Amino acid sequence: MKVALIIENSQAAKSSIVHEALTSVVEPLGHSVFHYGMYGPEDDASLTYIMNGLLAGILINSKAADFVVTGCGTGMGSMLACNTMPNVVCGLVIDPTDAFLFGQINDGNAISMPYAKGFGWAAELNLQDCYRKLFEVERGVGYPKERAAIMAKNRGIFSEMKAAATKDMLTVLQSVDQDILKAAIAGERFEEYFFSNAKDEAIMDYVKGVLSA
């Protein structure tokens, strides 16, 4: 699995803490982590929570990433921004129980976490425990198990409703403010990671055009 990490500007100073916690859990499981920034508060490319969502949409819809881990001060803004994107289902994860239940019941492809609110002593241990509850177990199994079938049915209905309520990702890219789009993909490692992993040619071509403009 390709796991993308995206950090918002107000929490960029904690980037290394989050990155280390994530890689320590998912890499031993055979997954790869691609850190799209921010890497520190002094980065030239600055990401707002709105850009986090847009970048998540690009990565998921192009298949450059299978799962996105993001967040902001409360986690709320990045979660909302992610959920505006087609095919992105993002949950707010604060503790390991949230992570487990989101994976079991909703089986989404992105999480947003608070990196300011409640982020105190031993915060990295909570991050690791959340990632374990999310990545070490099979997702979508249902909880409680006897409700697995109805939960799977509801996920399918939700996906159909989201598809009906959102535009395709290429249309989104063409419709959004192009300056915001260009800022969202301005990270120093974006081109390296994105173009080596993405599969959707139409999205790739459009992104190339934005980068070269």
Tens digits of residue pLDDT in 69-88: 999 999 999 999 999 999 99
| Gap between the Cα atoms of 114 and 86, Å rounded | 23
Tens digits of residue pLDDT in 130-175: 999 999 999 999 999 899 999 999 999 999 999 999 999 999 999 9
- Give the mean model confidence (pLDDT) for residues 99-112: 98
Tally the domains of the chain. Answer: 1
Region of poorest pLDDT, from 101-115, 138-152, 177-191: 138-152
pLDDT bin (cut points 50, 70, 90) of residue 201 is: very high
Torsion of CA 169, 172, 176, 181, to 10 degrees: 10
What is the pTM assigned to this prediction? 0.97
Structural domain boundaries enclosing 200: 2-212
170 neighbors 203 (Cβ within 8 angstroms): yes
The CATH number covering residue 86 comes to: 3.40.1400.10
Region of poorest pLDDT, from 34-43, 137-146, 176-185: 137-146
